[in-house]
Amino acid sequence: MQRIARTFATALAVLFASSAQNAAAQDAGPHPLADEVIRLVGEVNPKVVEWRRDIHANPELGNREFRTSAKVAEHLRGLGMAVRTEIGHTGVVGVLEGGLPGPTVALRADMDALPVTEMVDLPFASKVRTEYNGQEVGVMHACGHDNHVAILMGAAEVLASVRDRIPGRVVFIFQPAEEGPPEGERGGAELMVEEGALTDPRPDAIFGLHVWPDLVGTLQYRDRGAMAAADGLYIRVVGRQTHGAVPWGGVDPIVVASQIVMGLQTITARQTDVTKAPAIVTVGSIHGGVRGNIIPDSVVMVGTIRTFDADMQADIHDRIRRTAEHIAASAGATAEVRIGVGAPVTYNDPDLTRWAIPTLTRAAGVGGAVEGVPITGAEDFSVYQHEIPGLFFFLGGVPEGQDPAAAPKNHSPYFFVDEGALPVGVRALSDLALDYLFQNKRSVSEDR
């Protein structure tokens, strides 16, 4: 409870200190509504906190965000927006029409929770349990998407309050299933795009954020490859079953699978130029056999591939297939390799990233916005970036006085975000939208 009590003080301190220290940070100058946005962010913050706690206590898994999407749609309609629902199953898109002609910018938040049982001692901790892929599981916003939704709802209210002076449009995208849909279903950003999230109107740029275990209120950005492409790896090694006491009577797929695991590690350790970009090949699951004295017929391995460069991604895929197949063949076995291409690299447009640094600096305060390192996690925000220029950045949520290095990470049952981060996120998204619209309005025809 002490962590909660100090969030409002932290929020206001970060919000107003960043304004005083960085009023002249942007080369082109902040948009003309900057002071009003600061006031509006402070006014809406109690609502943002309330929304965050409500969504946190009532988490929903991917493609099942019925309550959350209804809450979002009601809020956007109440702000006078044109709202489309059921995009990509439970997605919501709201369009705020400004009072002046100008470009279009999009802001995105993801809504889904994870099949994790919450262990954080909070009065609004999740007690929800549901079925996931045939298993009963706890449900928790262990990746912080509750914060993303509340922050974007707050930014929507801030921007709607000044709509008559906005040159252009703002598209608010609330996306389901970022963590992946249930087995047998489609979902996430790819389906949102297919079903029109970026059409009518089509944004000129898109911004999004993610809470992260860094000091509360800090912001991290990185141009080009910010988060990895995530590809699924499946290898089935087929040998020939025999008695465990007579291994020469068959072909042992367990030994072959072990050799393949070691061979795969040489791809990134000895065959890939990691000075160009990081790369990871991980086997996270091996299954085969039923008892100790039977050498089984086959072994299945499941893993993940993480890359930051498209050419390296294709090359590593080829090397994985060649390595597994040739090692298996050398022992008289066979290896079936399947690679499921997942979210592409989260690629931050270099020009857009450089342009945004002053805006992020104003929102976070002096020293609060810094260049980050590549993150080997993946995000399907990258799908939008394949369509239009985009920037995805990170918002710190570790309470003051705690060591971020020791704080529970995203997807942990102990993951916690200090609410002092919320107004920084609201201001960052609001200012990015307004700075972009005001600074690009001259390039857009006055005829709308």
CATH of the domain at 45: 3.40.630.10
Looking at residue 22, its pLDDT comes to: 41
Claim to verify: residue 257 and residue 309 sit in the same structural domain: yes
Kindly list the catalytic residues: 112, 178
CATH value at residue 324: 3.30.70.360
Looking at the fold, whether 372 and 388 belong to one and the same domain comes out as yes
Domain-terminating residue out of 303, 324, 341: 341
What per-residue confidence (pLDDT) applies to 322? 98
Identify the domain boundary among 317, 341, 365: 341
Q: Which of 296, 325, 341 is the last residue of a domain?
A: 341
Residues 152 and 285 in one domain: no
By the 8 A CB rule, do 408 and 213 touch? yes
Residues 6+ apart with CB under 8 A from 284: 302, 303, 304
Query: For residue 14, what pLDDT is reported?
Result: 47
| Angle ∠(288,289,294) on CA atoms, nearest 5 | 145
Residues 199 and 282 in one domain: no
The DSSP secondary structure of 297-343, one letter per residue, reads: SEEEEEEEEEES-HHHHHHHHHHHHHHHHHHHHHTT-EEEEEEEE-S
Are residues 352 and 242 part of one domain? no
Q: Do 57 and 87 belong to one domain?
A: yes
Residue 264 and residue 322 in one domain: yes
d(CA 207, CA 192): 16
Asked if residues 392 and 107 have their Cβ atoms less than 8 Å apart, the reply is no
What is the pLDDT at residue 23? 40
Residue 369: strand pairing partners: 219
Instruction: Examine the domain organization and report whether 110 and 207 are in the same domain.
Output: yes
Report pLDDT digits (tens) over 386-411. 999 999 999 999 999 999 999 999 99
Residue 273 lies in a domain: yes
Judged by DSSP in three states, 93 sits in: strand
Instruction: Please indicate, yes or no, if residue 269 is contained in any of the structural domains.
Output: yes
Q: Are strands 135-138 and 219-221 parallel, antiparallel or unpaired?
A: unpaired
CA 115 to CA 64: how far, in whole Å?
A: 12
CA distances from 271 to 14, 114, 267, 316, 336 (A): 46, 36, 5, 9, 22
Residue 180 in contact with residue 191, Cβ under 8 Å?
Answer: no
One domain for residues 335 and 419: no
Query: 186 and 141, same structural domain?
Result: yes
**Do 161 and 47 fall into the same domain?**
yes
Report pLDDT for 24. Answer: 38
Q: Are residues 215 and 129 in the same domain?
A: yes
Looking at the whole model, is its pTM more than 0.75? yes
* Domain hosting residue 375, numbered range: 2-226+345-443
Q: What is the pLDDT of residue 379?
A: 97
Number of domain units in the chain: 2
Those residues of the chain that have pLDDT short of 50 are 1-6, 8, 14, 17-26, 444-448
Q: Is residue 448 part of a domain?
A: no
